Amino acid sequence: MENLDVMVLRTLRDWRQSGKRALLATVVRTWGSSPRPVGSIMALCEDGAVVGSVSGGCIEDDLIYQYTQAYAAAAQPASAAVEAKTIPSGPPAFIKYGVSADEAHRFGLPCGGTLELLLEFDPSAADLARLVTALESGQLMQRQVSLKDGTVTLTTSAAPAELSVSASDLVNTFGPEYRMLLIGAGQLTEYLATMALFSGFAVTVCDPREEYRSAWSVPGAKVLSEMPDDVVTAFKPDRRSCVIALTHDPKLDDLALLEALETDAFYIGAIGSRRNNDARHQRMAEHFGLSDATLQRLRGPIGIYIGSKTPSEIAVSVMAEVLAVKNGVVLPRDMEVAQAKNERAVQHNDPGELVCGIKR
C-alpha cells in the first residue's frame, strides 16, 4: 500500500483534472484525545467518494452529508424532498468538531476530544499535479495555503516539519514515501515486507542468492539481485529510509550495513543473537575502524521484546521498533531484546532461546 498522503493527493488531482468538484480537509488542531493527528488529510468528491481520513469515519460521514447530494438523498426516504447540497466555492474555511460532549459522542470522538479542520474547496488541479509529480520523484515539499483566497505556493523543503497555521496561512510539509531496504529474501523478510507495505513503506528486497529470490512471494516489493552493498549505495538512504539486514551471513550483511551507516537512514539494524551482534560490532570496529559513536546507530538484536519465536512474530517485533523510531518514540530499555534477554537469563539461568535457528 502506498503512502496515504500521496494517494489522497493523487486521487484529488484526478478528480479535479476530470472536472469534478472536490474539497481537501486537513486536521489543523486537536484538543484532548483525537483519532487522527494534526496534518492528516482526506479528500471528498462531489459524488460522495472519499479517500483518506480525519477521524474514525463519523466526521467523514458528516462532511459527505453536508457537501454532497448523493449522501443526502441516500439518507432520506424515497418520497422525501432532499435539499440540494454541493461543495461551495470561495476561500478555505475552518470547521470544528467535538466541542460539546454530545458532539463528541455523535462524531465518535474520544471523551473530551476536539479537532479542527481546514476545508479547501476545489483545489487547483495544476497545483495538485505539480505536488504529486514532485512527491513521486522523491522530493520533500512544503505546501502553503493562503487563508484569504486559497492560493497555494509550493516549494521544496530541506527537512520535514510539523504543520503550522497562522492568521494568514497554513503550511504543511509532504514527504515522499518512507522506504525500507531489506537484505535477504527469506521467510522472515516476506513477513516484514508485507507489514511494511501495508504500513505505507515502499519496500525493496536485495538478495544475490537465486535460491532465495526464486521463492519470493510478496507482490508489491521490488526484488534486486545485485550485491547488497552496491544496492545500498544506489538506494541512497535518507531520513525517510531504513535498512535491515536479515541474511545471518556476514559476507552479505556487513558490507551493506557499512554503507548504510554512512547515510542518514533513520533505522539501521541486523537480525542475530546477542552474541552475533557483539561479534558484528567487534568485526566492524577492528576491520573497518568504525567508532563507538557510529556503531551506536546499528541496532541489534532488532525488534522489541514480545517473546517472539516464529518468523511472523519476530517480524511484528521488528516492525513495531521501526515504527517507534520513525514516530520519535523512545522505548523503555526493558523492551529491548538484548536487555530483556539478559534479565531473563539472570532470572532463569537461561543463556537464550533458539529463534530462526539462532540464539537471540
How many angstroms separate the Cα of 98 from the Cα of each of 52, 59, 184? 20, 10, 48
CB of 273 within 8 A of CB of 360? Answer: yes
Residue with cell 482526506: 42
Cα–Cα distance measured from residue 244 to residue 271, given in angstroms and rounded to the nearest whole number? 8
68, three cell numbers: 454532497
- How would you class 134 by CB atoms within 10 Å of its CB: exposed for 0-12, middle for 13-18, buried for 19 or more? middle
109, three cell numbers: 470522538
111-153 pLDDT, tens per residue? 557 889 999 999 999 999 999 999 888 788 999 999 999 999 9
User: What pLDDT was estimated at residue 239?
Assistant: 86
Cα–Cα distance measured from residue 64 to residue 23, given in angstroms and rounded to the nearest whole number? 10
154-170 pLDDT, tens per residue? 999 987 789 999 999 99
**CATH number for the domain running over 179-359:** 3.40.50.720
Q: 3-class secondary structure for the chain?
A: CCCHHHHHHHHHHHHHHCCCCEEEEEEEEEECCCCCCCCCEEEEECCCCEEECCCCCHHHHHHHHHHCHHHHHHCCCCCCCCCCCCCCCCCCEEEEECCCHHHHHHCCCCCCCEEEEEEEECCCHHHHHHHHHHHHCCCCEEEEEECCCCCEEEEECCCCCCCEECCCEEEEEECCCCEEEEECCCHHHHHHHHHHHHCCCEEEEECCCHHHHCCCCCCCCEEECCCHHHHHHHHCCCCCEEEEECCCCHHHHHHHHHHHCCCCCCEEEECCCHHHHHHHHHHHHHHHCCCHHHHCCEECCCCECCCCCCHHHHHHHHHHHHHHHHCCCCCCHHHEHHHHHHHHHHHHCCCCCEECCEEC
The residues pairing with 290 across neighbouring beta strands, listed in sequence order, are none
Percent of the chain with pLDDT over 90: 59
pLDDT band at 354 (very low <50, low <70, confident <90, very high): very low
**Residues near 293 by beta carbon (within 8 Å), at least 6 away in sequence:** none
For the chain, what are the domain ranges?
4-174, 179-359
User: What pLDDT was estimated at residue 355?
Assistant: 44
Cα–Cα distance measured from residue 147 to residue 142, given in angstroms and rounded to the nearest whole number? 16
55-112 pLDDT, tens per residue? 877 888 889 988 987 554 444 555 555 455 789 999 999 999 875 556 656 666 655 5
181-214 pLDDT, tens per residue? 999 999 999 999 999 998 889 899 999 999 999 9
Quote the mean pLDDT of the chain: 86
CA 238 to chain centre: 14
User: What pLDDT was estimated at residue 83?
Assistant: 59
Q: Of the candidates 180, 229, 217, which has an alpha carbon nearest to the alpha carbon of residue 202?
A: 180
Q: Of the candidates 254, 217, 247, which has an alpha carbon nearest to the alpha carbon of residue 358?
A: 247
Percent of the chain with pLDDT over 70: 82
